[in-house]
Amino acid sequence: MSDKYRIIGPLYDLLAKVYSAGRIDKCKTAMHDHIKPDDKVIFAGVGHGIDAIAAAERGAEVTVVDISQTMLNHFAKRISGRYFLHPIRKVGSDIFKFEEYEQFDFVYANFFLNVFSRVMVMPLLEHLTKLAKKDGHVVIGDFAVPSGGPVARAVQSAYWYIADIFFSLLAKNALHPVYNYQEMLRGLGFSIEEVRYCRFLFANRYYSILAKKV
């Protein structure tokens, strides 16, 4: 299978930093204070993985999954020579083929679900929720749903589409409006425990959702 992140992958984190003035990084670790030592945590579509590394630094038993060898190589470089309480497990796979159900305390999907089309996103989220233990959590960091008046909503949509169009051209990401993950998670029987927003350019541009399997 071709690696869609072969060209843009090496620049991914730098672009995200510039585009969000560092807020995307903050958003990816916004819920990390819930992670305890020895918790089992999985990062789907890990990319360069600053969030996964931060979880390992908290003593969690971290698994990362990514379909792109380019992204996994970058991640491997980042952790090379580092020691954690639990060594990080790296899995090169399509997440749909990763079926370790009910094994994880936290299932992270940071800026991952937005890569997928409307048709694929629900089956994917459902698959991810199955990886969580009975009382486990799903954490989603992503672009916040446009809110407020018509101008504020239009600005947030435009802000999203700049990134979406760029990545659809360079990594074949799907084109679609901002997804409403809280609605999707409730539909799958999850309860939303907490939402933390990251502000940028006078509005809530990103958020992190903590949802519990009930």
Burial 180-207 (b: 16+ CB within 10 A, else e): ebbebbeeeebeeeebeebebeebbbbb
Using alpha carbons, select from 48, 56, 52 the residue that is nearest to residue 15: 48
* Residue 143 near ligand SAM by CB under 6 A: no
Instruction: Break the chain down into helix, strand, coil percent, rounded to 5.
Output: 40, 25, 30
Instruction: Give the one residue of 32, 61, 62, 112 binding ligand SAM; rule: CB under 6 A.
Output: 112
Residues whose CB falls within 8 Å of the CB of residue 16, separated by 6 or more in sequence, listed in order: 24, 25, 111
* Residue 160 near ligand SAM by CB under 6 A: no
| Count of chain residues binding ligand SAM (CB under 6 A) | 17
Q: What is the C-alpha separation between 78 and 81, in angstroms, rounded?
A: 9
* Residue 207 near ligand SAM by CB under 6 A: no
Instruction: Give the one residue of 29, 31, 45, 121 binding ligand SAM; rule: CB under 6 A.
Output: 45
* Residue 47 near ligand SAM by CB under 6 A: yes
Query: Which residue's CB is nearer to ligand SAM, number 84 or number 98?
Result: 98
- Contact segment (CB under 6 A) with ligand SAM among 80-88, 109-117, 131-139, 192-200 equals 109-117
Q: Which parts of 187-206 interact with ligand SAM (CB under 6 A)?
A: none
Q: Least CB distance from residue 151 to ligand SAM, whole Å?
A: 28
Instruction: Give the one residue of 68, 129, 156, 204 binding ligand SAM; rule: CB under 6 A.
Output: 68
Instruction: Give the one residue of 35, 41, 42, 46 binding ligand SAM; rule: CB under 6 A.
Output: 46
Checking phi first, is residue 65 left (phi over 0); if not, alpha (psi -120 to 50) or beta?
beta
DSSP 108-131: EEES-GGGS-HHHHHHHHHHHHHH
Residues at the contact surface with ligand SAM, assessed by CB under 6 A: 5, 28, 45-48, 65-68, 71, 94-95, 110-112, 115
